[in-house]
Amino acid sequence: MTTQNSAARNGQPERFRVAVAQIDPIVGDIDGNAELVRDALEWARAQGVQALVTPEMVLTGYQAQDLILKPGFLDRCDQALAMLQAETAKDGTPALIVGAPERADGVRYNAAYIFDEGARRAVVRKQYLPNNGVFDEMRLFTPAPPQGPVEIGGVRVGLLVCEDAWWEEPAETLLESGAEMLFVINGSPFARFKHDDERIQNMVARVVETDLPLLYVNLAGAQDDQVFDGGSFCLNPGGALAASAAFFDPARMVVDFVQDGAGWRAEEGDKALQPPHAEMEYRAMVEAVRAYWRKNGAQTALLGLSGGIDSALTAAVAADALGPENLRCVMLPSQFTSDESLEDAADVAARLGVQLDEIKISAPVAAAEAALAPLFAGAAPDVTEENIQSRMRGLLLMALSNKTGALLLSTGNKSEVAVGYATLYGDMCGAYNPLKDLYKTRVFAVCRWRNAHHRPWMNAPSGAVIPERVIDKPPSAELRADQKDEDSLPPYDVLDAILEGMIELDRTTEQLIEDGYEKETVERVAWLLRSSEYKRFQSAPGPKLSPRAFWLERRYPLTNRFKG
């Protein structure tokens, strides 16, 4: 590979041209992921670049979790790395930076390999291993000692692996060792506000501290509960944005660095606009469903459409992700289902263009109650009978899922999941739950955004696909006469504020009471949150949308008497 240093000696500005591949890998598909990298390398060769940068752990997919512990898995990675290394021997091929695990000295590292001219030039290992939130890297890898820059195309590049860029010391060490610019490879999942409040701010801090340009490369796509929102970008000294790639989509970008005597700077390039937060939340849910189905070999989905806002939003997400022709909705009315709900479910299905079937549950519920009557003798009706209805719906939907192969979507929002306002083995049945990390108050906001906007990545029709009547009517489970959610729960604006304080901010009941919330309400919400842990333990996975989602980011014991 040749460099541009001769141009600098002739008095022209020295240039360093770098390609970025924002890739969507599949965890465990090592050969397929290697092919994605190889294809990007072919493209980069045609761009006349000196280097191609790919994201963190792109070869294995991220996060590979305990697959990293399997020697056979790592053997396959080594084979794929050898293939990619050989690819760089072809004439005109740029240096390749590829994220993958490394075995050395009897331990494992989260690493970045640098291949050039058919040789392995260097391996940079991750120093700071995140062990919080969705990350558990201390279980899998060994933290590396400080490392210096790597020469690529005659330029001393300081390479950082994700978390290393969130701390001052690694970048400072690279600067002191002679780095001329910083490259950061990332597997950074989406959360609301994360890009501007955390990523950009931290990377600007590294740029200001070092006075070096910084190139940030992120994964795209989704893996189980984590959505990788792309948004790769380049910052110039001082922190100004020079270029940025699309959010959520796989993307490719070329960045031209120029040295004019004052150091390296990136030339201005295309800058993708960051979508508003409601759009990013909706897009994250769509991409999570789309990826979960595609990467697991499924095509069709199924859900119970009740006429309420949660199932309507779930249907819109699924139709946009998979196409209306691949979504089947079922209305399962009982004696307590209102005519309005029947009409609203039909209206939602018609607006989305999805199939709607109806299965009346009154007869099977009556049969279950009759079978139980001898054992229930003398006991007054209570929530048990309500839950029989919900579980009958779950039974019928799961039977339809088994028969047709369509994966079932559950529809509970984060507020309900938090306080257990859902029936285990009933409306909690499902392979995936798009709304699992979306508070009820956010459900309303996201519905209104979807009604007002349509994007090329949506497969369902444009327009108000969720009727205003569905958004405006008081939420109800309709499991007894004249039932409303607020009969059992505080108003959702109050409930969500208390839950956010407890879940995302770790505020105590005492602190929330001091904030002005009623003591009885706070203590009841705290009890509901604590006593519903066993339900969440058995709930369907869903995409991370908030700073702290249930499952990996909030792990509490099922048996727990701590009340703070």
What residue ranges do the domains of the chain occupy? 5-267, 278-485
pLDDT averaged per 10 residues, the chain (length 564) = 38 81 98 98 97 98 95 98 97 97 96 97 97 91 97 96 97 97 97 90 97 98 96 97 97 95 92 94 98 97 97 98 98 92 97 98 96 95 93 97 98 95 94 97 97 98 97 80 77 96 94 96 95 93 93 83 77
3-state SS, 470-538, equals: HHHCCCCCCCCCCCCHHHCCCCHHHHHHHHHHHHCCCCCHHHHHHCCCCHHHHHHHHHHHHHCHHHHHC
Angle (CA) 38-67-135 rounded to 5° is 95
CA distance linking residue 164 with residue 168, whole number of Å:
8
The angle that helices 30-46 and 71-87 make with each other, rounded to 10 degrees, is 20
Angle (CA) 51-54-60 rounded to 5° is 140
Q: What residues contact 503, with CB distance under 8 A and at least 6 apart? A: 418, 529, 548, 554
* Residue 67 near residue 60 (C-beta atoms within 8 A): yes
CA distance linking residue 372 with residue 364, whole number of Å:
12
pLDDT at 38: 98
Class of domain 278-485: alpha beta
Q: Mapping DSSP to helix (H, G, I), strand (E, B) and coil, where does residue 417 land? A: helix
- Output b/e per residue, 134-158; b: 16+ Cβ within 10 A: bbebeebbbbbeebebbbbbbbebb
Angle (CA) 525-528-532 rounded to 5° is 145
CA distance linking residue 497 with residue 495, whole number of Å:
6
In Å, what is the CA distance from 268 to each residue of 13, 25, 242, 244, 246?
16, 29, 5, 10, 16
* Phi then psi dihedrals of residue 245, to 5 deg: -100, 170
Polymer length in residues for the chain: 564
Give the DSSP per-residue string, 130-151: --STT--GGGT--PPPP---EE
* Residue 359 near residue 396 (C-beta atoms within 8 A): yes
> Which own/partner contact pairs does 498-501 have at CB distance under 8 Å and 24+ positions apart?
498/522, 498/525, 499/414, 499/415, 499/418, 499/419, 499/439, 499/525, 499/529, 500/439
Q: Any idea which residue has 């008095």 for tokens?
A: 11
* Residue 26 near residue 62 (C-beta atoms within 8 A): no
In Å, what is the CA distance from 136 to each residue of 26, 129, 304, 393?
19, 8, 35, 37
CA distance linking residue 425 with residue 41, whole number of Å:
48
Which has the closest alpha carbon to 314: 364, 265, 352, 278? 352
Active site residues: 56, 126, 162
CA distance linking residue 477 with residue 521, whole number of Å:
21
Amino acid (one-letter) located at 509: T
pLDDT at 114: 98
Give the DSSP per-residue string, 306-355: -SSHHHHHHHHHHHHHH-GGGEEEEE---TT--HHHHHHHHHHHHHHT-E
The angle that helices 362-376 and 383-404 make with each other, rounded to 10 degrees, is 130
pLDDT at 260: 80
Q: Which CATH code of 3.60.110.10, 3.40.630.30, 3.30.365.10, 1.20.1630.10 fits the domain covering 5-267? A: 3.60.110.10
Which has the closest alpha carbon to 105: 123, 131, 130? 123
pTM equals 0.93
**Beta partners for residue 139, in sequence order:** none
Q: Could you say which DSSP state residue 197 is in? A: I
The angle that helices 492-503 and 440-452 make with each other, rounded to 10 degrees, is 110
CA distance linking residue 457 with residue 3, whole number of Å:
40
CB-count exposure of residue 371 (10 Å: 0-12, 13-18, 19+): exposed
In Å, what is the CA distance from 435 to each residue of 316, 438, 442?
12, 5, 10
